[in-house]
Amino acid sequence: MRTVGVEEELLLVDPETGEPQARSAAVLARAELDDAEQGVFEKELHNQMLEFATHPQSGMPELRAEIIRCRKEAARHAGEIGCTVAALATSPLPVSPSVSTNRRYQWMAEHYGIATQEQLVLGCHVHVSVESDEEGVAVLDRIQPWLPVLTALSSNSPYWQGKDTSYSSYRSRVWQRWPSAGPTEPFRSAERYHRRVADMVATGVILDEGMIYFDARLSRTYPTVEIRVSDVCLHADTAVLIATLARGLVETAAREWRAGAEVPEHSVSLLRLSAWRAARSGLTAELLHPATMRRMPAETVVRALLDHVGDALTDSGDLDRAQDAFAGLLRHGNGARVQRELLERTGSLHDVVTECARQTQA
């Protein structure tokens, strides 16, 4: 069974007003006092962000419990200094982000200017174990067309600086401002993958391998494929669904590789259009079907993904849970829909944030 780990980035906010709070250093200082939390929480690019990483898990119920525990611990540490956490992929309220006083992040601020200042966006990264770099690259080459579906499912960033963007995942559009971000053409081998990474670093446009912001990449640290296209999800169950589908995609792609199946030949141009469509629509309209790159209803495309990974999910015992989770998402909505419904009901973005903070820990 392939193990799965999740990294989530959370927004630090005032529990009464929902205003973003630049308090990550203070929250991390509290977390470091707890021996059980060593290495779980990390600083991110902006002081309004807090990141945690789960331990690798083989079972999805165990991963769910870990995500919920980390969220509650993040809220506890934040509460000790007068703020709380919200699983929102952008701040609905206007904010002036402050870049962390970290040598790496200061380099980014100097080199990328306003693009760094505006990168207060919060994602969910899924790590799925692979047996080798060769298997990992074979997986990367085969999962690309399906990744926009994960963006649509997770979309949780309709607001930006106090305004409705008309997007479901505006975070993913902001993220594309990095020069190394986005989909990739097939690499065909681990050697070609590593050569491409080395060539990109050698340009000096990016600082190091850590700034390879492909939609999916080989992890520098772990023997995993890291899938990076999802918004941080408002609800833990949605994050588990994303992780379940990510593992299903990796296992399915690895089986196709071992069976000698051809790599899909979609161009980066089409993949970028598919990613844009997913960010714009979320689950509310149409997506591009990964097999044809033509428009189809979002529900149809997600069900095609479930069919595509169905054998892998059956073998891991996750198929029924994934289908139930998707049905629940259709009924209750992903984060983007929930945020818009909250604003329609309350008329206040402040109330949207405070209610989402409550739901983050529910």
pLDDT in tens, the chain (362 residues): 999 999 999 999 999 999 999 999 999 999 888 766 667 899 999 999 999 999 999 999 999 999 999 999 999 999 999 999 999 999 999 999 999 988 999 999 999 999 999 999 999 999 999 999 999 999 999 999 999 999 999 999 999 999 999 999 999 999 999 999 999 999 999 999 999 999 999 999 999 999 999 999 999 999 999 999 999 999 999 999 999 999 999 999 999 999 999 998 889 999 999 999 999 999 999 999 999 999 999 999 999 999 999 999 999 999 999 999 999 999 999 999 999 999 999 999 999 999 999 999 88
Q: Give CA–CA dist 111/89, Å, rounded.
A: 24
Query: Would you tell me which CATH number, out of the four given (3.40.50.300, 3.90.470.10, 3.90.226.10, 3.30.590.20), belongs to the domain 4-360?
Result: 3.30.590.20
**Which two structure tokens, joined as six digits, stand for 183?**
């989909």
Is 0.75 surpassed by the pTM of this model? Answer: yes
Q: Give CA–CA dist 345/351, Å, rounded.
A: 10
Contact 48, 98 (CB under 8 A): yes
Distance of CA 336 to the CA centre of its chain: 14
Three-class DSSP category at 128: strand
What pLDDT score was predicted for residue 232? 98
Contact 248, 142 (CB under 8 A): no
Burial (Cβ within 10 Å: 0-12, 13-18, ≥19) of residue 326: buried
Distance of CA 120 to the CA centre of its chain: 14
Q: Which residue has the tokens 């206007």?
A: 94
What pLDDT score was predicted for residue 40? 87
List the Cα angle 172/299/327 in 5-degree steps.
100
Q: Phi/psi class of residue 160: alpha, beta or left (left: φ > 0; alpha: ψ in -120 to 50)?
A: beta
Distance of CA 131 to the CA centre of its chain: 23
